Amino acid sequence: MLIDTPIGPLVLRGTDRGLTSIDFGGEPGPESPLLLHAAAQLTEYFEGRRLLFDVPLDLPGEGFHARVQAALADIPYGETVSYSELAALCGNPRAVRAVGSACAGNPVPVIRPCHRVLRSDGSLGGYRGGLDAKTWLLDHEKRVRGNL
């Protein structure tokens, strides 16, 4: 399923158990009630009307990458952490590169907010959707949070 957003088209995919991926472009698959639900929540987020997501996810759940994915969900809306802070939160302060790899491989960006992870010096680092998208997401959250 494809949705248009301020950061470009997003392709949503899922199973009957939950959302499996959000991609920046690509060939969309069929719609389903679950994907329509996810699309509605993403639209609300981009309109500044949603701070948290409750879409069911169907993601692998083992190992360090899974711990990073879970920790991403705990980063508050409109706030940021560094890759090294996230590594420490995941129980391995020296695993900064592994955190970067887990963020780069995040299957559900925006919902699991890897855009909220920055380099220790405050610079953006990378983002699968591009740095313009990461900047837009961070600015959007600061703007919305400032209006609460």
* Residue 56 included in any domain: no
52 found inside a domain: no
In this structure, the answer to whether residues 133 and 92 fall within a common structural domain is: yes
Give the count of domains, the chain: 2
SS3 assignment for 39-94: HHHHHHHHCCCCCCCCCCECCCCCHHHHHHHHHHCCCCCCCCEEHHHHHHHCCCCC
In this structure, the answer to whether residues 22 and 68 fall within a common structural domain is: no
Is the pLDDT at 4 greater than 80? The verdict is: yes
Residues 10-37 pLDDT 10s: 999 999 999 999 999 999 989 999 999 9
**CATH (domain of 103):** 1.10.10.10
Is residue 94 scored above 90 in pLDDT? yes
Q: How does pLDDT run across 64-79, given as a tens digit for each residue?
A: 999 999 999 999 999 9
Assess if residue 104 is contained within a domain.
yes
Q: pTM to 2 decimals?
A: 0.94
In a domain, 57, yes or no: no
The answer on 99 and 29 residing in a single domain is no
Same domain, 39 and 67: no
Q: Assess if residue 55 is contained within a domain.
A: no
Domain, as residue range, for 26: 2-46
Q: Which of 68, 87, 114, 137 is catalytic?
A: 114
Strands of the sheet with 19-24, listed across from one edge: 2-3, 10-14, 19-24
Annotated active-site residue 90? The verdict is no
pLDDT at 61 over 80: no
Q: Check whether 146 has a pLDDT greater than 90.
A: no
Q: Does residue 74 lie in a domain region?
A: yes
- Kindly report the average pLDDT of the chain as a whole number: 95
pLDDT tens for 100-145 read 999 999 999 999 999 999 999 999 999 999 999 999 999 999 999 9
Q: What is the pLDDT of residue 147?
A: 82
Distance CA 83, CA 91 (A): 13
Same domain, 77 and 142: yes
Q: Note the pLDDT of residue 29.
A: 85
